[in-house]
Amino acid sequence: MTKSELNKYRNVLEAKQAELVRLVRNRDGIVIEKSADALDEVQYATERELAIRNLDRDSNLLRNVRAALGRIEVGSFGACLHCEDDIRPKRLSAVPWTTFCIHCQEIADRSQGHGAQNHEELLVNMA
């Protein structure tokens, strides 16, 4: 991979990292609202659950993005963590924080029993 390609991925990853840090930080204060109205209580609980699920997802993604930036630093970026083959540029462009080539990702998804980690990966897997 050329230096300018690496820089391109680093820029994308750093932008994504900044975005995720903002999202995760904003949700730090997931509030537990109380209401005398039982229906409101249900509504608040649902919203809280959704917020926590999103936070989970964003935190995971943030971890992946940070790991990918780390791999750029140590020079292993772009290689599949499982088989060490080069990850295809098309896949890297869509999900630069991916850790596996498409082949190993499919195996990982199957063995974990729950599809892609996020919407973008799902799209790439289906492509």
Q: Of 20 and 101, which has the nearer Cβ to Zn ion?
A: 101
Residue 24 burial (CB count, 10 A):
15
The binder of Zn ion chosen from 68, 69, 72, 104 (CB under 5 A): 104
Q: How many helices (H) and strands (E) does the chain have?
A: 5, 0
Q: Which is nearer to Zn ion, 62 or 100 (CB)?
A: 100
Report, in Å, the least distance between residue 72 CB and Zn ion.
18
Residue from 20, 65, 68, 101 binding Zn ion (CB under 5 A): 101
Shortest Å distance, C-beta 60 to Zn ion: 20
CA-to-CA distance for 73 and 68, rounded, in angstroms?
Answer: 9
Site for Zn ion in 59-98 (CB under 5 A): 80, 82-83
3 state SS of 72? helix
With 0-12 / 13-18 / 19 or more C-beta atoms within 10 angstroms meaning exposed / middle / buried, residue 121 is: buried
Residue carrying the six token digits 């209401």: 35
Q: Does 15 bind Zn ion (CB under 5 A)?
A: no
CB of 5 to Zn ion, least distance (A): 19
